[in-house]
Amino acid sequence: MTPTLLLVYAVVLIAVVGMAPRLVTHPWVVRLRVLLPSWRFFEAPGDVPVLSVRWGPDADRLGPWHAVALRPRRHLAMLVFNPAGNLALAHAALLQSLVDAIEATGEASAVDTAAQIGASAPYALTARLAREHVRRLAEAPASRYQFKLALVSSLDAARTDVLVSEVDPC
């Protein structure tokens, strides 16, 4: 029974993967594709989302932008035990899901887009991530912070700001 189910699963998965990329956008199908290697995964490098934060005593006196370094330094022990690397991958997936949420708003007006993005789970989680980094980076306690999400091109390092948050309390 189990080998038959696995065979049916593999055949369906291969058929779905073989379809045109525009047809394979359902979240469940994307999750299942992880089980099969894909030569198209490394085909075209994309833009990398980068999170930056700034903070200060009030909204008028915020400091310079500081990039949030989500990637830990590599060492040999990471081959066996790598919780910091796994957390960095989760943060990168969160930033990418925020970019996807922004792109999903489409041609809506700026007010509607801001309301949709501000109410989304990826935005709330990114704001919390930014707040935690401000608390860790700031020498003196900051009362206000702001974060910015930018896309950095992996080809020419061009930077495009995608989202700049409101100034929020820490």
pLDDT surpasses 90 at 11: no
- The answer to whether 66 touches 54, Cβ cutoff 8 Å, is yes
- The answer to whether 54 touches 146, Cβ cutoff 8 Å, is yes
| Residue ranges of domains in the chain | 42-169
> For residue 126, what pLDDT is reported?
93
Mean pLDDT for the stretch of residues 5-16: 82
Q: How far apart are CA 21 and CA 26, in angstroms?
A: 11
Q: Which pTM was predicted?
A: 0.69
